[in-house]
A and B are shown apart, each in its own frame.
Chain A
Amino acid sequence: MASQSYIDVGMFAVIAIGFVVVSMWLNRVVAPFHPDRAKLESYECGEDPLMDAQINFHIRYYVFALTFFVFDVEAIFMYPWAVNFRNFGSNALFVIVEMFVFLVILALGLAYAWRKKVLQWV
C-alpha cells in the first residue's frame, strides 16, 4: 500500500513533466520558427541590454533565507508533537510546558532577529 503511494508521487511528476514536454513539442511542430538577433535579445524596454543580469545578491536575501530556514526546521520539529497532542493523557501538562519552553526559545530568536534589525527591509 505504501509503495503504491510513492509510485503515485513519481508518476504524477512524470505525467506533469511529460505534459509540458509534449505541449512544447506540439508547439515546435505547429508554430513558426524564425529566430533573429534582435528577437532573441533580453528585454530591457527596447534599449540594448546593459551587462549581465546575473549579479551578486543583496545580503538581506541571505539573512531572510537563514531566518526562514531556522523557523521552517523548528516547525517540522513541532509537527510530531502536534500530531500526538491528543494522546498525551496524564502527561499532558508536562508535555505542553515542554513545548512552551521550545516556543519561548523560538520567540526569543524572533525577538533577537527583530532587535538586530534583520527583519527590516531597507
Chain B
Amino acid sequence: MSPIVASIIKGTVALLWVVLNALFLVWFERKVAAWIQNRMGPMRVGRWGWAQTIADGIKCLMKEDIIPLAADKPLFVIAPMVSVASAVLIWIVIPFGPGKSGVFSDLPIGIIFIAAVTSLSVVAVFMSGWGSNNKYALFGAMRGAAQMISYEVALVMSILGVVMLAGSLSLQDIITRQTEAGILGWYLFRQPIAFIIYVIAALAELNRAPFDLMEAESELVSGYHTEYSGLRWLLFMLAEYGHMLAWSAIAASLFMGGWTGPGLGALAGRIPAFDLFNYGIWPYLTGFFWFAFKTYLFIFLAMWLRWTLPRVRIDQLMDLGWKFLLPVSLVNIAATAVLANVWGWYAK
C-alpha cells in the first residue's frame, strides 16, 4: 500500500473516531449532568435519548450560516478548521493497542508533538475571538489565551517527571515501561504529584468547569464563540469534545498504563483453549478495551468535576497556575531526580 493511501485511511479512521466519540460524549455529558442534578436528561429521541445528539447535529446542519458583517472573514472561517485539525492530529501518537500496529504513527517525539498540536487550539480560540469583532468574544479569547498558556507550562513540567522515569518521549514506550513492574509500575503511583498537576492543568487546558472562564455563560455569553452559530458552532463543540477525549487518553497512557491490562489469554494456564486469545486480533481487542475503559474513567472524572465544582475567579485561576502548580512541578522534577538516581528509588 502506498504511504499516501495508508495515511488517508488512518486519517479517516481518526476523524471517524473523534466524530463518533464526540456524538456519544455530548449525550453522555448531558446524562451525567442529569444524574448528578437528579433529572432525566434527554429522553425523547430514541430510547434514553441516545439519538439526541444526532438530531441536534442534523438541526445544526440545516441552520443558516451567519458571518457578521463586522467580522474578519478569513479568521472567522479558518478558526474552526484549526480547532478541528488539532483535535484530530493529536490522535496520531496515542496508542490504542500493542506494538506498531496499535498506534497510527508512533512518532519518536510523541509528547512534544502533543504539546505542539494542542497549543494550536489556543491559536484557534484567539483567531475566533479576534476575528468575530465582538467584545464578548474578544474578552473570552483573551482570558482563554492567558489561561491556556499559563497552565500549559505546568502541564509540560508535570509530564517531564514521567519522561524522566520512562526515558522516552514516545507514548508506546512510556506505556511498556510502566507495565514492567506490574500495576505498581503505573506512573499514577510513581509520580502522584505529576498526576494531580496533570489533571488540574488538563482541565484548565480544556476550558472545562471549574476553569471555564473563557466561556462563562453568565458573564461572557459563551466567550469566543458568541458569534458562531449553526454548523460552525457545532464544529467548535466537536473539537472541544475531541480534545477532552484526547487529554483523557493521554492521561490513561501516561499514568495508568494505557492499553495494557489482563485479557482472557492470561487464563491460558488453566483453560488451554483460551490460549487462542493470545494471538491474532485478540491482543488488540483487549488493548482497545482497556484503553477505552481507562479513557472513559478520566472523562467521567472530568464531567463529575464539571457538574460539582463552581467556577473559580480569574485571579484565583492565575494564582493557582503560576504560584502553586508551577513551583510544585519544579519541586517534583527535582524530587524525582534525587529519588530516582541518588537513592535509587523506582528501580525496575
Task: Count CB-based A-B contacts (< 8 Å).
Answer: 222
Q: Is B273 an interface residue (CB 8 A)?
A: no
User: Contact flags (1/0) for A73-94 with B, using CB distance below 8 Å?
Assistant: 0011011001111111000110
Asked if B132 and A53 make an inter-chain contact with CB atoms under 8 angstroms apart, the answer reads yes
Residues of B contacting A112 with CB < 8 Å?
none
Of A7, A39, A120, the contact of B4 (CB 8 Å cutoff): A7
Evaluate whether A83 and B167 lie within 8 angstroms (CB atoms) in the complex, with A13-B85, A35-B66, A119-B318 already known: yes
Evaluate whether A13 and B167 lie within 8 angstroms (CB atoms) in the complex, with A31-B62, A53-B137 already known: no
Query: Count of chain A residues with Cβ under 8 Å from any Cβ of B?
Result: 75
Asked if A44 and B133 make an inter-chain contact with CB atoms under 8 angstroms apart, the answer reads no
Q: Is A14 an interface residue (CB 8 A)?
A: yes
Chain B residues in contact with chain A, CB under 8 A? 3-4, 6-8, 10-12, 14-15, 61-72, 80-81, 84-85, 87-89, 91-92, 104-107, 111-112, 130, 132-138, 142, 145-146, 149-150, 152-153, 156-157, 160, 163-165, 167-169, 221, 226-227, 230-232, 235, 314-315, 318-319, 322-323, 326-327, 330, 333-334, 337-338, 340-342
A5-19 contacts to B (CB < 8 Å): 5, 7-17, 19
Least CB distance, B53 to chain A, in whole angstroms = 15
What would be 7 A-B contacts, judged by CB atoms less than 8 Å apart? A16-B88, A23-B61, A31-B65, A43-B68, A43-B136, A61-B146, A88-B341
Asked if A53 and B135 make an inter-chain contact with CB atoms under 8 angstroms apart, the answer reads yes
Asked if B330 and A103 make an inter-chain contact with CB atoms under 8 angstroms apart, the answer reads yes
Asked if B65 and A27 make an inter-chain contact with CB atoms under 8 angstroms apart, the answer reads yes
Evaluate whether A100 and B169 lie within 8 angstroms (CB atoms) in the complex, with A11-B8, A20-B84, A24-B232 already known: no
Residues of B contacting A10 with CB < 8 Å?
7
Chain A residues in contact with chain B, CB under 8 A? 3-5, 7-17, 19-21, 23-24, 26-28, 30-35, 37, 39-45, 49, 52-55, 57-58, 60-61, 64-65, 67-68, 71-72, 75-76, 78-79, 82-88, 92-93, 96, 99-100, 103, 106-107, 110, 114, 119-121
Of A7, A43, A103, A110, the contact of B227 (CB 8 Å cutoff): A43
Of B10, B134, B226, B235, the contact of A8 (CB 8 Å cutoff): B10
Cα distance A5–B112 when bound, in Å? 15
Of A37, A82, A119, the contact of B163 (CB 8 Å cutoff): A82
Asked if B84 and A8 make an inter-chain contact with CB atoms under 8 angstroms apart, the answer reads no
Residues of B contacting A7 with CB < 8 Å?
3-4, 7
Residues of B contacting A32 with CB < 8 Å?
64
Residues of B contacting A65 with CB < 8 Å?
145, 149
Residues of B contacting A120 with CB < 8 Å?
315
Asked if B334 and A100 make an inter-chain contact with CB atoms under 8 angstroms apart, the answer reads yes
Least CB distance, B124 to chain A, in whole angstroms = 11
Interface centre among B72, B149, B226, B314 (most CB of A within 10 A): B149
Residues of B contacting A37 with CB < 8 Å?
69
Output the nearest chain B residue to A68 by Cβ-Cβ distance.
B149
Residues of B contacting A71 with CB < 8 Å?
153, 157, 326
Evaluate whether A79 and B152 lie within 8 angstroms (CB atoms) in the complex, with A4-B6, A43-B221, A96-B338 already known: no
Of A20, A40, A84, the contact of B81 (CB 8 Å cutoff): A20
Asked if B153 and A23 make an inter-chain contact with CB atoms under 8 angstroms apart, the answer reads no
Of B84, B111, B149, the contact of A64 (CB 8 Å cutoff): B149
Residues of A contacting B322 with CB < 8 Å?
67, 110, 114, 119
Output the nearest chain A residue to B62 by Cβ-Cβ distance.
A31
Interface centre among B231, B323, B340 (most CB of A within 10 A): B231
Cα distance A99–B44 when bound, in Å? 59
Least CB distance, B337 to chain A, in whole angstroms = 5
Cα distance A14–B135 when bound, in Å? 32
Of B8, B68, B136, B153, the contact of A40 (CB 8 Å cutoff): B68
Of A53, A72, A78, the contact of B138 (CB 8 Å cutoff): A53
Asked if A39 and B66 make an inter-chain contact with CB atoms under 8 angstroms apart, the answer reads yes
Cα distance A35–B169 when bound, in Å? 50
Asked if A15 and B88 make an inter-chain contact with CB atoms under 8 angstroms apart, the answer reads yes
Least CB distance, B84 to chain A, in whole angstroms = 5
Of A12, A28, A49, the contact of B65 (CB 8 Å cutoff): A28
